[in-house]
Each structure stands twice: as C-alpha cells, then as structure tokens.
C-alpha cells in the first residue's frame, strides 16, 4: 500500500489553490463542498470559478504564488503545467509541513486526490496512487452504478436512530442488528422514497431486538475458486464481508483473503502434504464451537467445497449439532483451470464424459476404479497428482489408454503465474520434471488436450515480467 487512504475534515479550514484553469476550478469545488475557505493564486480565473458553490468562501488573493500565501493554510493544491514552478510551491508547502497535491505530478505530492463517489454522508474513494487516473475514474464509474444515490439517505436514517439503538440493543448485538436492518425491507423503502414506512419498520425492529437475543451463529461454507479473485461469486463476496470469523485453508490466495471483512478474526487450518496441522475432525468441531458462540463463521475453501474439499464432512457435523449453515459453490479447479488453459473438458468430437479423481498416493499406490476411468472417450482430471505423476501415467496405460494419449499439467491455473505443459502419457512426467513444476498443479488427460494449441487464450507466460513474479498461493485441493 503506497498511500494511506484518509478522509480530512476541512470544515472552516483555510486552503490555497495555485492556478486558475478549469482543472483548478474543479479542485477548488471539492474543497468548497468539504466546507473549506479557499484562496486562489492565479493571474486569471476560468469561467468555471463563477459557478462554484459557496462563493463567499472563495477569493482570488494574488496573481502569482509567493511563500507568504501559505501562512495559516491547512492544505495546498497546485495546478501548474510548468514543473519547475510547481516544484517551488510544493517544496515551500512541505517545508511548512502543509499537505500539498500537485495535479498530474505525483512525485511532488504529499497526498493524492482519489476519484470520489459522493453519497454523503457515505463517501467512497478510488485511487491508483497517481499511476493510472483514467483507470481509477473508470472504476469509479462502475461503482457509481452499484451504489444508489439513496444510500446517503439510508445512512442518514441510521444516524438519526443511532442513539435509540445504542439504548435498546446490547453492545454485542449491535453489529448484527444493523446488518439485519440494512438487508431488510427498510433499505428498499428508503431507496423508493417511502421514508415514513421505513421509520415505522425500523421502530418495530428495535422493539423486537430489545426483547430477544438476535445473535444467531451460522456457518458459511464458501468456495473460493481456483485462486483468481475475479472468479468469486457475488454471494461469496457478500458473505466474506459479513463473517465474524474466517476459517481458511493454507492455500486460499492472499488477494481473496484480503477481500474478507478486515476486522474479522482469522483462523488458519491449512494442510500440507503429510502434515495436517489441524486434523479434519478438529476443524469440524471448531466450526460448531464458533457458531454456538453466536458468531458468523466463514469456512473459506479453495475451489468448490463439495469437490475434494471435505465440505460434506464438515456440514454433516454441523447438522448433527443443529448448527445453521449455507453452502456457496465455487468454481472448482477442473472447470477454472481447464478454461484458462484452453482445454475444454467435453467436446462432441473428443470426449463425452469427464471423471474427477485424486492422484493422492497411499503406500505408493492408487486406490481407483481404473475400468471406469481409463476410457478413450472420456476426459480425466486429476487433483493432487504431481508427486505420483509417473506412476499415474503408467497405470493409465496399463489399464487401457494408449501411450500417445494427450495429457497436460497446469501449474497455478487461472493466476498470472500459470504454466501449461503438454505431452502424452509417455512424455509428460519427464516434461513436468524438466520444467521444475511445483504445486499447485492439475493434470488433464484425454484427446481434448489436442485443442490447447488452438484454444489457449490465456498465456501469461508470454509476458516475462508476470511470469517471474512470486506465485500467488492457491487452493489446498490443487496440491
């Protein structure tokens, strides 16, 4: 994080804008809307200054900048094309410990101005750290469509009722109460302008909340997908933001963990090969205990929780202990990784069925239904098979597949560090060893692999800068 996002209280503070252009007028408008008094140093003012709000708080005080103009100022904004003149202002402000922003010259700034979504009192700021302001504005535009203007009125309603809620609802229940309110018809009433009905509904919810314990523990079993945050579902994102506790696997990617509620407790229950730090039975009971404490528990698992994710075992225990739960599917590695590798799992010319299997070795052997797996018209997707890849390929040939059956192994699928190695059942083990592949990987066997060369749309390995970055962690079940 190159900048700390903060919101400044500029009410009745004194600010200086150096420059009289249209851009300078827009900067001055932001300061005026925040309640500041604005002095302007410019030889002439763009006509936009005449249309600014609160004109009594705006005045042109000089034709050019002089250090004396900084006296008593709390903030400075510079809009100056000439870099040397802009630097003079920035240096003078820094010497006096006054925050300074220089438009389009981030190296001279002590703070930057983000793109703003104003739903006062709700404020949302988007910034690229000065590196790509156009991209930041595009993101702001997208968020504008997701955040109705009425959110400001909803926040104002909550503010008016804040003291009543504090008096009626127990401290440990208030967060859950407000989340219940914001997800209730109260919000929709405000959005549609039915404020009187909204207040009546909120009054009833306060009375009900004062009489009953509204805390209700629950477990959200959420699939985090194969590692790329863009592949999360909307429902997963919402529950990730609501949870009080996050119980996560070792290889759920950090960018996905960063999208969870920032103040949620995080509990690591990761498993490594031959080293299960927390046994599965203990994880199951941990979820029960946390939920019975009244907490909303996010069980975040890589891929899909019901495909080699032991999700069934976990909710079986929850059901036995009468703990409420819900399951949010995720994009499993087979679907996500195959798509990003350009290998369709089914194709009417090559494969009419798919088999998902684990390549986990036990005492150097596999426990598989080889007759049902080794079929030439079927795609085989193998999870956790890197370690036993040579033995796996030998077994598939032994049980009916030809030695030249196409096969691929994908490392870090869907991530910027994705690598795809293709060959056949004879050559793939050596190719994987030569490439130095490491977990997480996924193996795909079948004639559909032939389509990789034609359909391989996602090839980050072609960009050397991305290919040499530190790999993002990825889901446990891909190991």
| 330 marked as binding residue | no
271 is catalytic: yes
The Cα–Cα gap between 116 and 279 comes to 47
List strand residue ranges (DSSP E) for 405-463, in order. 406-411, 419-424, 441-445
Across 77-102, b (16+ Cβ under 10 Å) vs e yields bbbbeeeeebbbbbebbeeeebbbbb
| 113 marked as binding residue | no
Contacts of 60 (CB under 8 A, 6+ apart): 20, 39, 40, 41, 42, 45
Contacts of 404 (CB under 8 A, 6+ apart): 424, 425, 426
| 465 marked as binding residue | no
Catalytic pick among 249, 295, 301, 476: 249
| 293 marked as binding residue | no
DSSP for residue 411: E
| 103 marked as binding residue | no
| 294 marked as binding residue | no
Q: Assign residue 349 a region: left if phi > 0, alpha if psi is -120 to 50, beta otherwise?
A: alpha
The Cα–Cα gap between 190 and 475 comes to 41
The Cα–Cα gap between 476 and 439 comes to 9
The Cα–Cα gap between 138 and 131 comes to 14
| 417 marked as binding residue | no
Catalytic pick among 27, 39, 73, 271: 271
| 44 marked as binding residue | yes
| 333 marked as binding residue | yes
249 is catalytic: yes
Nearest CA among 328, 330, 322, 329 for reference residue 218 = 322
The Cα–Cα gap between 274 and 262 comes to 32
Please, are residues 165 and 174 in contact by the beta-carbon 8 Å criterion?
A: yes
The Cα–Cα gap between 33 and 22 comes to 17
3-class DSSP string for 353-401: EEEEEECCCECCECCCCHHHHCCCCEEEEEECCCCCHHHHHHHHHHCCC
Q: Is the peptide bond before 121 cis (omega within 30 degrees of 0)?
A: yes
| 8 marked as binding residue | no
**Alpha helix (H) ranges present in 269-329?**
280-292, 311-320
Helix, strand, or coil here: 124? strand
Please, are residues 477 and 411 in contact by the beta-carbon 8 Å criterion?
A: no
The Cα–Cα gap between 131 and 71 comes to 31
| 123 marked as binding residue | no
Question: Strand pairing partners for 247?
Answer: 267, 299
Q: Summarize the annotated binding site for NAD(+) as residue ranges.
A: 22-23, 43-44
The catalytic site residues sit at 249, 271
Q: Summarize the annotated binding site for S-adenosyl-L-methionine as residue ranges.
A: 226, 302-304, 307, 332-333, 384, 413
């Amino acid at each position: 994080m190159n900048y700390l996002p903060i919101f400044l209280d500029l009410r009745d503070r004194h600010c200086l804008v150096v420059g009289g252009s249209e851009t300078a007028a827009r900067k001055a408008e932001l300061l005026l809307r925040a309640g500041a008094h604005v002095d302007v140093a410019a030889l002439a003012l763009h006509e936009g200054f005449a249309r600014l709000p609160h004109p009594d708080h705006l005045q042109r005080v000089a034709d050019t900048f002089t250090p004396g103009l900084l006296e008593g100022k709390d903030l400075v904004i510079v809009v100056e094309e000439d870099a040397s003149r802009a630097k003079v202002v920035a240096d003078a402000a820094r010497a006096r410990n006054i925050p300074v922003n220089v438009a389009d010259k981030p190296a001279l700034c002590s703070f930057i101005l983000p793109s703003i979504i104003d739903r006062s009192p709700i404020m949302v700021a988007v910034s690229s750290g000065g590196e790509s302001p156009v991209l930041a504005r595009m993101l702001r535009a997208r968020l504008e469509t997701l955040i109705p203007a009425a959110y400001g009125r909803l926040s104002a309603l909550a503010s008016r009722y804040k003291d009543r809620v504090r008096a009626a609802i127990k401290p440990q229940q208030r967060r859950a109460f407000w989340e219940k309110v914001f997800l209730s018809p109260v919000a929709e009433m405000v959005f549609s302008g039915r404020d009187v009905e909204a207040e009546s509904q909120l009054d009833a919810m306060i009375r009900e909340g004062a009489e009953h314990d509204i805390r209700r523990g629950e477990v959200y079993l959420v699939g985090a997908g194969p590692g790329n945050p863009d592949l999360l579902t909307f429902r997963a994102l919402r529950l990730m933001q609501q949870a009080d506790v996050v119980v996560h696997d070792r290889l759920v990617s950090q960018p996905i963990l960063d999208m969870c509620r920032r103040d949620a407790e995080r509990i690591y229950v990761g498993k490594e090969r031959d080293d299960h730090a927390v046994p599965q039975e203990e994880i199951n009971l941990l979820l029960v205990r946390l939920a019975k404490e009244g907490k909303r528990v996010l069980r975040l698992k890589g891929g899909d929780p019901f495909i080699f994710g032991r999700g069934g075992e976990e909710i079986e225990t929850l059901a036995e202990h009468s703990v409420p739960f819900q399951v949010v599917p995720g994009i499993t590695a087979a679907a996500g990784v195959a798509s990003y590798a350009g290998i369709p799992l089914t194709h009417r010319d090559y494969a009419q069925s798919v088999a998902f299997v684990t390549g986990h070795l036990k005492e150097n052997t596999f426990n598989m239904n080889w007759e049902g797996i080794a079929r030439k018209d079927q795609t085989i997707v193998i999870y956790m098979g890197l370690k036993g890849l040579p033995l796996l390929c030998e077994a598939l040939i032994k049980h009916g597949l030809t030695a030249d059956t196409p096969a691929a192994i994908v490392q870090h699928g869907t991530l910027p560090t994705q690598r795809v190695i293709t060959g056949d059942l004879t050559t793939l083990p050596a190719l994987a060893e030569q490439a130095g592949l490491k977990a997480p990987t996924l193996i795909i066997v079948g004639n559909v692999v032939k389509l990789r060369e034609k359909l391989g749309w996602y090839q980050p390995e072609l960009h050397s800068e991305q290919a040499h970055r530190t790999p993002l962690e990825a889901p446990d079940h891909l190991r």
